[in-house]
Structure formats: C-alpha cells, structure tokens
Amino acid sequence: MLRLSKSAQNMRTSEIRDLMSVAIDPDIISFAGGMPNQDLFPIAEVDEIYQHLPLKTKQEGFQYGPTGGYPPLLESLSRFLESKGLPVKDNQLIITTGSLQAINLIAKIMLDPGDVAITETPCFIGAISAFKSYQAELVGVPMDADGVIAGKLRQALDAYQERCKLVYLTPNFHNPAGTIYNRERRREVLTLLQGRNVILVEDDAYNDLYFDESDRDLTRPLKAMGTEPVPICYCGSFSKIFGPGMRLGWLLASKEIVRQCEVAKQSMDACSSTFTQMLANEFLVQDRLPEYLQHIRPIYKRRCERLLESLQKFMPAGVAWNRPKGGFYIWVKLPEGMDATEVLKKAIPLGAVFVVGKTFDPNGTANDHLRLSFCHMPEDKMEKGVQIIAAAIQAVQAGR
Amino acid sequence: MLRLSKSAQNMRTSEIRDLMSVAIDPDIISFAGGMPNQDLFPIAEVDEIYQHLPLKTKQEGFQYGPTGGYPPLLESLSRFLESKGLPVKDNQLIITTGSLQAINLIAKIMLDPGDVAITETPCFIGAISAFKSYQAELVGVPMDADGVIAGKLRQALDAYQERCKLVYLTPNFHNPAGTIYNRERRREVLTLLQGRNVILVEDDAYNDLYFDESDRDLTRPLKAMGTEPVPICYCGSFSKIFGPGMRLGWLLASKEIVRQCEVAKQSMDACSSTFTQMLANEFLVQDRLPEYLQHIRPIYKRRCERLLESLQKFMPAGVAWNRPKGGFYIWVKLPEGMDATEVLKKAIPLGAVFVVGKTFDPNGTANDHLRLSFCHMPEDKMEKGVQIIAAAIQAVQAGR
C-alpha cells in the first residue's frame, strides 16, 4: 500500500480535464475549455520567426537557461510590462512554466499546512489546487459586479489575521466570473490591505483581452497603482496572447520574493523551456504582439456578443448572467435552488458541455452557476449550444 | 517581514547556477555545466521537422495538452521505452517538465516533513533540492566503483524502516560519480529492497550515453529486470538526447503513482510544453534519434578520453579518479584532507571552474571531490583546463 504524503491526500482533481476529453468529440458543443481557439494562434508569425532565427539563437533555445528566465525575454518582457505602468525596475521578474507555476511557487514559499489563503468566490481552479496542494485552508470572499466585496474582504482579513499569509485576486476579466474591478473597488482593496502582514497575489492573465480600446485604462494593474500597501506578486501569462502550449508565464515581485521563488523553481523544473522562451522573445522584440492583439480582440468580442444574444434569446426566466468587457467567460447564475451538475447531466447527452460552478468554489460546494467560455467556440455553434443548455435547465426545472 | 513557509526556509540554493554564470566568460574554461555542448544539438534535424509540420499539428503544439502528456509523444515514447525492455504496458507514462519535475512530483506525493529519502552519496543536486524542498531528511549511502554499497544500503533501510518512504538511485552513468552499477550490484539492490514498504526512484537520464556498443547491455534499467520487489518509478529525460531547452522528461510507474503525480502536476504547471513535445515526438517518430545518438556517442567518448589523458599527465600524486563508460562526468578525489572549495578559489583566477563535491553531498558537507564535466567543453581546451586545476591543487598543497 502506497504511503502517500498528506499533501497528496489533500489534492483535488480538476474536473475540467475530464470535461475537456468529452469535448474532443466533434459533435459535442463545448463551452468548457478556457483556452484560445486553435484557429487564432499566431502560427504564420512563428513560422516566419523560426525561419529567420540565427543558428546561435537556436543553440540557446536548445540549451538550459538561467532559472530566472532567458535573458533576452526578461528584457523584452520588462519593456512590455513597463508599458503597462508596472514598476519593473523596483522589482524582479522571473519566467515561469505558465502563470500557474508562478502561483504555485508563491504558495510553496509562503504556505505551511493550516495557513490561510483568502481568495475570491468563485476562484480560478488552478489557484485553488495550488493552495490546497500545500495544505492551506481557503477562505473565499464573495464578489459583486464590481469586484470582491470590500467589507467582506475586511471581515475575512480580521477573522484570519494570524493565519492568513496571502490574498489572491484577479481584478481583470476574472476566471470564471468575467468581472472587471472598477476603480473605486481597486482603491478600497489596496487601502484595506494596508498594514496587514500579508502578500497580495494579483493574477492578471487576461490583462490584454479587453474588447474595447476605451476600456483599456480600466485594466491598469493594482501593481501599477503607485502605492503598494502590501508586497504585490503580479502574475501574467503568454497563454492567452501567444499560446498555452508554450507554457510560459511570469511573476513580477520584490527581489526577496522572486529570489525565494527562484530557489523553489530550481528544485521544480530548473528553468522553463528556453526554446519557447526564445520564440516568445522574438514575438515581443519584432513587435508582433500589438498587431496580433488587434486581430483577436474583435473576434473574442464578437463571440461574446453572440453568446450574450443567444442567452437573451433562449434562457428561461430566473437565469442571470454578467456582460463581460473582456476575457473569456460568462458566469451564469441558475434559478434558485438548481444544481449545475444536474444541468450538466442533461446537457451532455443533448450535445453540450460547460464547467459547473462548484469547480471554482474554494469550498468545492456552491454549485448554482455555470461557466460558459466563448473563447474556444466558433460563432455558428453558439446558438445551438445555448439552446441545448436552456433545454437542460428547463428539463431540470420540470423534474424530467 | 516576509513570513516564509518552513519549506522555503529549508530550501538550498544550487551553487551550480552561480558557477554557470562565471562560465559565461569565454576566457574561463568550464568543467562545471552538466549540459550537452551547443554544437551537438540536432538543430538541422529540427529545422527539417518544423518545415514539414502540418498546420493541424502546429495548432496542437500551441494548445494546452492533457496533463499526462501529448498523446502522440506518449505513444512514440512508449515504443522507445519498450525497445529497452521496460514494462510500459503494465505501467503508466507521464511527460514531465524535465526529469527533475518527475523527481519533484514523486517527492510531493510521497514525502511529509521528517520522512526519510535514502540516496547515494554523492547524489544529483536536483534530487537533493527536490527532497529537501518537502522537508525530507536525506540519508546518503556511499558508493564504490560498482554502485551503491549494498551492505550500507541495507543498514540504512534497517535504521530508517519506519520513516523511509523512498530510495533514489542512478544506476547508469551517475551524476556526479560517473559510475555504472554492475549486474551483481543491480541484483543485490533489488533483492534487499524486497518486502520493505518503500518505493525506488530510478533516475536514468543518461541511459543512452554509453560510449561503446558492447556496453549497451550493462545499461538495462532496474525497472526492466523483470522482478519488481518494490514499485519502481523510472525517470528519464530528453535533455541529453535532444535538448535541455525543451524541458521534457518522463516518469514510468504504476498507474496509482502516475495518477497521483498527474493530480500534483495539475496544480504545478498543468502540462509540459505541447510545442516542444510535438518536436520531440517527430524526432522519435521520424526515427532520427538512433542516428543522432550514433553521432554524439563517439564525440563524448573522445572528450572523456582526452580528459582522462590530461588528468593522467598533469594531476599530482594523491589525486584519483574513475574511468567512465558513458555519461558526462569524471569524479575526482582530492588528496587526503584537501577541500574542493579551496581548490576552486585558486582555479577561478587562473581561468577554470568545476563543481565542488559538497554540492552533491546529501548533508552538504563532504568536500573532498571535484566534478569535471567533459560534455560541454571542446577537446582543445581540456588540457589547458586540467593544467590549471592541477596547478590549483598544487598551490593548495603548498599552502600558497
């Protein structure tokens, strides 16, 4: 009999993976996966980049790199982050194997069993898994349409003052809630974290995915707001702006925190792929990102609008949802008392899947929401998919 | 003040990284890095592979893949491992971000603080860091020229019966010792692990790097020996046979162990780079690996011979070393009482670097050896490098 560690006993499988394998069936309409559609990847651009790479650069790409990151990418990424107003010079940057690894590294250096991590409710499943894998206790704080509810966050911070080591928030285009924090909420959150001995993990994986240029200012990171009442660990990702298969993310934080994360990463995977870092660096250096973003933003916007129209058209009374300004997700509230898993069970045989709400609940229980991703699905299938989910909801309502 | 986790407080920096940055200076002759020389990477082959990739395959490369690995690579790698006699069908395979992640995942699912991991002395620094990062206690067992000393291993297993969760061994071309276990030692080790409630982690990152075809049979993995008295977790790597910058390794183990590692990996980096997995898969499927290995083996053999000749020619009396049959390393024993760090301090200003013995000591103290890598250095610099190290040893001897 395997004598597993307490950590292994505490880990929780992500159900999303199982749903993604259901979604491989081409006849199933999937709102499940939180990944860019394959038709949207900048493949022609990378072909061109690869063709013109000097031999010396390719040799670097095949080789180990420093644990902190491929130096040319650290430089080009620094410039990119500085253009967002982020205080790169006063901090340190480390490249990670997806932004999930950035979250995992922070968890590793901060959390002992029994420590508390405060998150939003709902919360990105990857962060929940990472915190749980270090046997932390998760305390979720509810959100409204403008972000985490400040008064509730204060209550949680007061209640867990001793044991709380970190607060994890996603102010821009929250996964799964789709929310963007308004300016006031951002200020409130920063103010109330002041003078408390916690760090703030700011997950900004969707920063560049606003739909309208006029909303760009809203996406200004907390880390770029000039006051840092707590050490802010700013996490970002190439997954949504280049390709998740590259497995590249980053962490911008104080030198002390990054130094600790680097030591932890030395024992985890030594460095992230130099080969894909080399490609990402060229993508940035050749200034191909802005054009690529201008190409994908209206596509995601259109998909989102199409999904909203279909929801409006087909959802029965008692179902509610938000109107995202960017990102990948719509967070659908079911009629009072309805369980998302029941809806999913009806939807799968009819030919549609999504992720049930409890996946994103820090406690793994609240199940009155569905997450619908519009990033991955061709527009022409959306209406059909929503009709199926609406029918599934009606079937559950009718007790069929 | 940062309230770090106990794990972070327990982690140890690898000094190798610092030495590698010293080694960036082109005037420094470096025996430090355990990586293939950049001139040896199969770059022309990958250029050709990339040129002929269908769009659909590239799209897969940009996308998230299953946590367990890119399915085509799992298939081609299975065939490759089966050709080594490994019991792939009775086990499960998972692709990891370098073989270091495989070791880290096993540590994560097995080790609680205070648990014991038994290793060889000396031991791969990455494994030491991984085990320590889970607050395990390391118990080192000495090696002789034929592998870990069986009697000493038995003593350690008896002494730590309750707390010992795993044994970590590198039977083929040990890093840093350069040793290959002989057949008898392999049988002894397997026999004495029988009936004990531990798992065996077999690190076989150098399996393919024998110098002479006639030694191939000696490299047969423990996992392929037909009896599995303990669950064997077999770890391998693409770093030495394709490129470390791809960050790809693997773990072949029981379904139960791999399932647990997969859950842990979901919270760590979700999946390894699909892009580099796609390239590695084509490298295998197009059967380019055998030819590539035939190209690099004689080069490493020649470098090793050249290094041995130089050692013979220049090292003062009292210095001893092994004669490797493969791999990357020669493990040099200093004269009685001499400290490797003292030698390094003299060698750096003279223009040569290597890794000091204590880096590989599970207790971080024994410092009477140097690790010399011959993999990374052009032959024409070897003699000069050895002369410098010999001079440094003589200077320490003379108390200069």
Tokens of A245: 């298969």
**Contacts of residue B64 in chain A, CB cutoff 8 Å?**
33, 35, 239, 244-245
Which pLDDT score, from 0 to 100, does residue B73 have?
A: 98
Residues B328 and B304: their CA atoms lie apart, in Å, by 8
pLDDT average, residue stretch A147-161? 97
Minimum mean pLDDT among A125-129, A222-226, A396-400: which range? A396-400
Identity of the residue in A3, A46, A129 whose CB atom sits nearest the CB atom of B267: A129
**Contacts of residue B39 in chain A, CB cutoff 8 Å?**
59
Give the other-Cβ count within 10 Å of B29's Cβ.
25
Residues A59 and B35: their CA atoms lie apart, in Å, by 12
**Contacts of residue B270 in chain A, CB cutoff 8 Å?**
98, 100, 126, 247
Identity of the residue in B109, B197, B275 whose CB atom sits nearest the CB atom of A245: B275
User: CB of A189 within 8 A of CB of A150?
Assistant: yes
Residues A395 and B11: their CA atoms lie apart, in Å, by 55
- DSSP string across A133-184: HTTPEEEEEEEETTEE-HHHHHHHHHHTTTTEEEEEE--SS-TTT-----HH
Percent of chain A with pLDDT over 70: 97
Mean pLDDT of chain A: 94
Q: Under an 8 A CB cutoff, do B60 and A38 touch?
A: yes
Measured between CA atoms, how close is A125 to chain B, in angstroms? 9
Measured between CA atoms, how close is A190 to chain B, in angstroms? 18
Residues A233 and A103: their CA atoms lie apart, in Å, by 9
Nearest CA in chain A to B109: A8
In single-letter form, the type of residue at position B81 comes to L
Residue in this structure with the two tokens 């590259």, named with its chain if needed: A246
Identity of the residue in B5, B36, B61 whose CB atom sits nearest the CB atom of A112: B5
Beta bridge partners of B201: B168, B233
> Does the pLDDT at position A308 exceed 60?
yes
Measured between CA atoms, how close is A316 to chain B, in angstroms? 34
Which whole-number Å values give the CA distances from B162 to A3, B111, B196, in the listed order?
Answer: 11, 13, 10
Tokens of B145: 């020229």
pLDDT average, residue stretch A293-319? 97
**Contacts of residue B246 in chain A, CB cutoff 8 Å?**
62, 273, 275
How deeply is B350 buried, as exposed, middle or buried, from its count of CB atoms within 10 A (0-12, 13-18, 19+)? middle
> Does the pLDDT at position A24 exceed 70?
no
Which pLDDT score, from 0 to 100, does residue B19 have?
A: 56
For B93, residues 6+ apart whose C-beta sits below 8 A from its C-beta are: B68, B69, B74, B77, B78, B81, B250, B251, B252, B258
Respond yes or no on whether the N-terminal peptide bond of residue B231 is cis (omega within 30° of 0).
no
Nearest to B376 by CA among B15, B16, B111: B16
Instruction: Quickly name the fold that domain B6-42+291-397 has.
Output: Aspartate Aminotransferase, domain 1 (3.90.1150)
Which whole-number Å values give the CA distances from B50 to A50, A59, A362, B89, in the listed order?
Answer: 9, 15, 42, 31
Low-confidence residues of chain B: pLDDT under 50: none
Question: What is the domain partition of chain B in residue ranges?
Answer: 6-42+291-397, 56-285
pLDDT digits (tens, 9 = 90+) for A194-218: 989 999 999 999 999 999 999 999 9
Tokens of B148: 């870990």
pLDDT digits (tens, 9 = 90+) for A61-98: 999 999 999 999 999 999 999 999 999 999 999 999 99
Q: Under an 8 A CB cutoff, do A256 and B100 touch?
A: no
| Cα angle for residues B67, B70, B74 (degrees, 5° grid) | 105
Q: Under an 8 A CB cutoff, do A109 and B5 touch?
A: yes
Nearest CA in chain B to A261: B8
Task: Provide CATH code, domain A43-285.
Answer: 3.40.640.10
Strand, helix or coil at A194?
Answer: coil
Is the Cα dihedral B168, B170, B176, B177 positive or negative?
positive
DSSP 8-state secondary structure symbol assigned to residue B354: -
Which pLDDT score, from 0 to 100, does residue B9 have?
A: 85
Residues B32 and A294: their CA atoms lie apart, in Å, by 46
How deeply is A178 buried, as exposed, middle or buried, from its count of CB atoms within 10 A (0-12, 13-18, 19+)? buried
Q: Is the ipTM of this complex over 0.90?
A: yes
Q: Under an 8 A CB cutoff, do A4 and B110 touch?
A: yes
Nearest to A138 by CA among A232, A201, A229, A204: A201
Which pLDDT score, from 0 to 100, does residue B167 have?
A: 98
pLDDT digits (tens, 9 = 90+) for A359-396: 999 999 999 999 999 998 888 899 999 999 999 999 99
Measured between CA atoms, how close is B337 to chain A, in angstroms? 31
Which pLDDT score, from 0 to 100, does residue A21 have?
A: 52
Nearest CA in chain B to A63: B245
Domain B56-285 annotated CATH 3.40.109.10: no
- Edge-to-edge order in the sheet of strand A92-96: A92-96, A249-253, A232-237, A199-203, A164-169, A116-121, A137-144, A147-148
Residues B290 and B272: their CA atoms lie apart, in Å, by 24
**Contacts of residue A21 in chain B, CB cutoff 8 Å?**
66
Confidence of residue A10 (pLDDT cuts 50, 70, 90): confident
Tokens of A108: 């590793």
Q: How far is CA A230 from the centre of its chain?
A: 22
**Contacts of residue A32 in chain B, CB cutoff 8 Å?**
none
Residues A14 and B266: their CA atoms lie apart, in Å, by 7
**Contacts of residue A263 in chain B, CB cutoff 8 Å?**
8, 11-13
For B142, residues 6+ apart whose C-beta sits below 8 A from its C-beta are: B120, B121, B148, B149, B152
Identity of the residue in A39, A104, A278 whose CB atom sits nearest the CB atom of B267: A104
Residues A396 and A386: their CA atoms lie apart, in Å, by 15
Nearest CA in chain B to A111: B5
pLDDT digits (tens, 9 = 90+) for A163-173: 999 999 999 99
Which whole-number Å values give the CA distances from B69 to A88, A279, B258, B284, B391, in the listed order?
Answer: 34, 21, 12, 15, 49
How deeply is B131 buried, as exposed, middle or buried, from its count of CB atoms within 10 A (0-12, 13-18, 19+)? buried
Which whole-number Å values give the CA distances from B263 to A7, A109, B249, B272, in the listed order?
Answer: 11, 20, 17, 14
Q: Do domains A6-42+291-397 and A43-285 have the same CATH topology?
A: no
Angle between helices B71-82 and B274-285 (to 10 degrees): 40
pTM recorded for the entire structure: 0.96
User: CB of B12 within 8 A of CB of B133?
Assistant: no
**Contacts of residue A132 in chain B, CB cutoff 8 Å?**
267
pLDDT digits (tens, 9 = 90+) for A111-122: 999 999 999 999
Which pLDDT score, from 0 to 100, does residue B20 have?
A: 54
Which pLDDT score, from 0 to 100, does residue A380 have?
A: 87
> Does the pLDDT at position A17 exceed 70?
no
> Does the pLDDT at position A300 exceed 90?
yes
